[in-house]
Amino acid sequence: MADPLVLFMPSGKRGRFPAGTPVLEAARQLGVYVESVCGGRGICGRCQVEVQAGQFAKHGITSAADHLSPVGPKEQRYAEKRDLKPGRRLSCSATVEGDVVIDIPLDVQINAQIIRKAADTRVFERKPAVQLCYVEVEEPDMHKPLGDLDRLKDAIERDWGFSNILVDQHLFPQVQKILRQGEWAVTAAIHKDSDTGQPSLIALWPGLHNEAYGLACDIGSTTIALHLVSLLSGRVIASAGASNPQIRFGEDLMSRVSYVMMNPEGREAMTAAVRKAVDDLIGDVCGETGVHRNDILDAVFVGNPIMHHLFLGIDPTELGGAPFALAVSGAVHSWGGQLDLETNEGCRVYMIPCIAGHVGADAAAATLAEGPHRQDEMMLLVDVGTNAEIVLGNSERVVAASSPTGPAFEGAEISSGQRAAPGAIERVRIDPETLEPRFKIIGTELWSNEEGFARAATATGITGICGSGIIEVVAEMFLAGIISTDGVVDGSLAARSPRITATGRTFSYVLHDGDPLITVTQNDVRAIQLAKAALYAGIKLLMDKLGIDHVDRIRFAGAFGSFIDPKYAMVLGLIPDCELANVSAVGNAAGTGARMALVNRDYRREIEGTVRAIEKIETALEAKFQDHFVAAMALPNKIDPFPQLAN
Ligand code: FES
């Protein structure tokens, strides 16, 4: 007779195991991650599973829940002390006795009270770099002069298989006290970054310690986003964001590099500012959840090259000009304390590698999250900021570049431009007959021509146009015939509509004729043309490299991408023609990639290998960039067709 079949949900991994195999062992053999802090002693409760009823026929499994061994003494003891919910079993104790479907409940891995609504609920398969290991250590013996720490290492090797363990310096003075406090039972945190890497003992607690957390953080030049993640469940339990305080030293990246060059203490001031902001965010997520900073054991950071360097305390001057040399491009390993973060003393920090001098660890992390290198379809991943970071490719080949889009897409260099904030115009429609506009501002759902808008807008006022608004208004001006393919505002329309006004020798479009007066000038249109031409030319260069004239999917990463309407991006020719249904915003993909690298160390190897293989294209050195740029100044493009726009 065949051995019993065990099917794990939700992963769907299955295998046959001899009767009597502990469920935990079956999970391990199939690569299903089930946490076990106490090493199967029946005291941590992290290994709980549920037997799924009602799915058996669907999976060709004919038996039911009683095909696990009866509840044993270990489980009984745990249930009496800690309350084991009905239907739950300890997988270290229950053994497989017949065909069975096993579910790994998400809530058991984490203290339910501290789960907060997190921005991203995707759960990734876990294989964290830090693991908690409960061990019972032999007591000292006059006849065996082995040190306390050495016996602890022996116990960890015996129960958990970690050999040649390095010990963090900060633990030496504490080890003896902790062992005695725990009456020779302790929980060790072991850091092992790769399958072949050397394990390190990074933290130690007396008795059973059941809490381990990590941080995933994207340091953007405008915003810093941080997630607190349970290393035992892989789930985000709290998220927080804040403005990057470096803004006071310079709005955009280049002005921050200039600040460093012009001010003797400039680098130090900006490093201190960003580290403090990150540490404050750690305080926020810990305060919200009740998690102790001392239980934060691992962290992954990403950022564009300049943010990456400043956070590490590296002078970014070299990144301010050709050849844009990074001080370090590969993955960086550090400690929380060395980066002025108040975490456990042994907390490790991992920084995802940078792709190139203008394409940073944030683009690498977004690549990890979206996975162009994992699929056959040709995917274009664009993160628009002062520089657009562009990654294009599929499982065969990936190329990357950055394009100097300038700050126009962020509302800068636009006469009425502003950052996205309450009161900013973010949506625009123009009637092609009357040329009358209607618009929406951030802070209300009403259109400007709807009843109640004026009242709703009094809270914020109408303050300017943000990045998504400027793209929509220029695209709508084009669709309404106010601007030509060359981007020239048609002055002859002034006879038809008071919205068209002369500004010196050029014409403007009046979007809001109240206080303040908000117009779109010829210069504004030019600024958007220049920005979009730079972006498109960069994308075209990458398409040339791959010898393709079509992309299958387009993903906008970052805040800007979340707010622009793909249709308008295509009307203006920011992006190449693509089926609109295949163009989408993916939000903070860089943060998601950081989280993946935090909860599963295999993702670190994946992105390190991918970054090494990515072909980096320096747009400034490519002769064809200029040709593509000139063609892309037209709306949507002088040469390239956009058949999807006709649909
Ligand atoms: Fe700790 Fe099962 S592994 S209770």
pLDDT in tens, 580-620: 999 998 888 999 999 999 999 999 999 999 999 999 998 87
Considering the domain architecture, whether residues 508 and 560 belong to the same structural domain is answered as: no
Sign of CA dihedral 248, 250, 252, 253: negative
For ligand 1, the distance from its centroid to the CA atom of residue 134, given in whole angstroms, is 10
Q: What is the pLDDT of residues 307-321, one digit of tens each?
A: 999 999 999 999 988
pLDDT above 50: residue 504: yes
Would residue 500 count as lying in a domain? yes
Task: Choose the residue to mutate in 23, 33, 35, 44 for probing ligand 1, maximizing ligand atoms within 8 Å of C-beta.
Answer: 44
425 shares its domain with 515: yes
Q: Are 341 and 278 in contact (CB under 8 A)?
A: yes
| CA dist., res. 446 & res. 540, Å (int) | 38
Alpha-carbon distance of 270 to 360, in angstroms, equals 18
For the segment 346-369, what is each residue's pLDDT rounded down to a tens digit?
Answer: 999 999 999 999 899 999 999 999
Q: Which atom of ligand 1 approaches the CA of 37 most closely?
A: 1
Amino acid 431: pLDDT: 97
Residue 334 lies in a domain: no
pLDDT (0 to 100) of residue 103 = 85
Segment 363-405, tens digit of pLDDT: 999 999 999 999 999 999 999 877 899 999 999 999 999 998 8
% residues pLDDT > 90 (the chain): 67
CB 463 within 8 A of CB 516: yes
Residue type at 441 in one-letter notation: I
Ligand 1 atom nearest to CA at 42? 4
Test site for ligand 1: of 69, 90, 134, 187, most ligand atoms within 8 A of the Cβ: 90
For residue 62, is pLDDT > 60? no
**What pLDDT is recorded for position 540?**
96
Residue nearest to atom 4 of ligand 1 (CA): 42
3-class DSSP assignment, residue 556: strand
532 and 401 in a single domain? The answer is yes
Quick check: is 332 in a domain? no
Q: Which atom of ligand 1 is nearest to the CA of 78?
A: 4
Label residue 113 by pLDDT band (50, 70, 90): very low
Distance 35 CA to ligand 1 centre (A): 8
Using the 8-state DSSP alphabet, how is residue 327 labeled?
S
491 and 390 inside one domain? no
Pairwise CA distance, residues 288 & 512, whole Å: 42
Domain extent, residue 34, equals 5-109
Same domain, 509 and 539: no
Q: For position 64, what pLDDT does the model report?
A: 57
Q: Which of 363, 220, 203, 184 is nearest to 296 (CA)?
A: 203
Verify that 400 and 537 share a domain, yes or no: yes
Distance from first CA to last CA of the chain, Å, rounded?
Answer: 61
- Do 448 and 580 fall into the same domain? no
Q: Which of 172, 206, 240 is the last residue of a domain?
A: 206
The CATH number assigned to the domain holding 79 equals 3.10.20.30
Output the CA 412–ligand 1 centroid distance in Å.
56
Q: What is the mean pLDDT of residues 17-29?
A: 91
User: Where does a domain end: 157, 187, 206?
Assistant: 206
- For residues 401 and 386, give the distance between their C-alpha atoms in angstroms, rounded to a whole number: 14
Residues 582, 588, 591, 595, CA torsion sign: negative
Looking at residue 399, its pLDDT comes to 98
Do 182 and 48 fall into the same domain?
A: no
* 435 contacts 490 by C-beta, under 8 angstroms: no
- Same structural domain, 565 and 591: yes
Q: Is 29 contained in some domain?
A: yes
Sheet containing 506-512: order of strands: 500-503, 506-512, 518-520
Mark out the alpha helices in 547-642 (DSSP H runs).
Answer: 558-563, 566-571, 589-599, 601-613, 624-632
Q: Kindly tell me if the per-residue pLDDT of 630 is higher than 50.
A: yes
Distance 93 CA to ligand 1 centre (A): 8
Q: Assign 74 to helix, strand or coil.
A: helix
**421 and 515 inside one domain:** yes
Q: Which atom of ligand 1 is nearest to the CA of 74?
A: 4
Model confidence at 58: pLDDT above 80: no
Dist. CA 220 → ligand 1 center (Å)? 40
The pTM assigned to this predicted structure is 0.85
Q: Which atom number of ligand 1 is nearest to the Cα of residue 90?
A: 2
CA of 105 to the centre of ligand 1 (A): 14
How far is ligand 1, taken at its centre, from the CA of residue 112, in Å? 18
| Structural domain includes residue 327 | no
Does 429 share its domain with 485?
A: yes
Model confidence at 243, pLDDT cuts 50, 70, 90, reads confident
The tens digit of pLDDT for each residue in 294-303 reads 999 999 999 9
Between the CA of residue 604 and those of 193, 351, 609, 610, what are the distances in Å? 9, 9, 9, 10
Q: How confident is the model at residue 494 (pLDDT cuts 50, 70, 90)?
A: very high
Looking at the fold, whether 78 and 174 belong to one and the same domain comes out as no
For the domain that residue 194 is a member of, what is the CATH number?
A: 3.10.20.880
Q: Does residue 566 lie within any of the structural domains?
A: yes
Residue 560: CATH number of its domain: 3.30.420
To the nearest whole number, what is the mean pLDDT of the chain? Answer: 90
- Residue ending a domain, among 206, 225, 247, is 206
Taking the C-alpha atoms of residue 226 and residue 285, their distance in angstroms, rounded to an integer, is 9
pLDDT at site 487: 96
Could you tell which of 38, 88, 160 is best to mutate to test the pocket of ligand 1, judged by most ligand atoms within 8 Å of the CB?
38
Q: Which atom of ligand 1 is nearest to the CA of 36?
A: 3
Q: What confidence score (pLDDT) does residue 98 get?
A: 86
Measure 43 CA to ligand 1 centroid, in angstroms: 6
User: What's the average model confidence in pLDDT over 196-210?
Assistant: 96
Is residue 192 in a domain? yes
List ligand 1's pocket residues with C-beta within 6 A.
36-38, 40, 42-47, 90, 92
Q: What percent of the chain has pLDDT over 70?
A: 95
- In ligand 1, which atom is closest to the CA atom of 35? 3
Residue 496 inside a domain? The answer is yes
Residue 645: pLDDT band by 50, 70, 90 thresholds? confident
- Give, for ligand 1, the residue of 46, 71, 108, 131 to mutate: max count of ligand atoms closer than 8 Å to Cβ: 46
| Strands of the 553-557 sheet, one edge to the other | 583-585, 553-557, 379-383, 388-393, 398-403, 615-616
Mean pLDDT, to the nearest integer, of 552-557? Answer: 94
CA angle 246, 251, 257 (to 5 degrees): 70
Using the atom order of ligand 1, give the atom closest to the CA of residue 43. 4
- Give the chain's domain count: 4
- The more confident residue out of 166 and 456 is 166
Q: How many angstroms separate the alpha carbon of residue 40 from the centre of ligand 1? A: 4
Provide CB contacts within 8 A for 92, sequence distance 6+: 22, 23, 24, 36, 38, 40, 41, 42, 47, 74
- Omega of the bond leading into 4 within 30 degrees of 0 (cis): no
Assess whether pLDDT exceeds 70 at residue 120: no
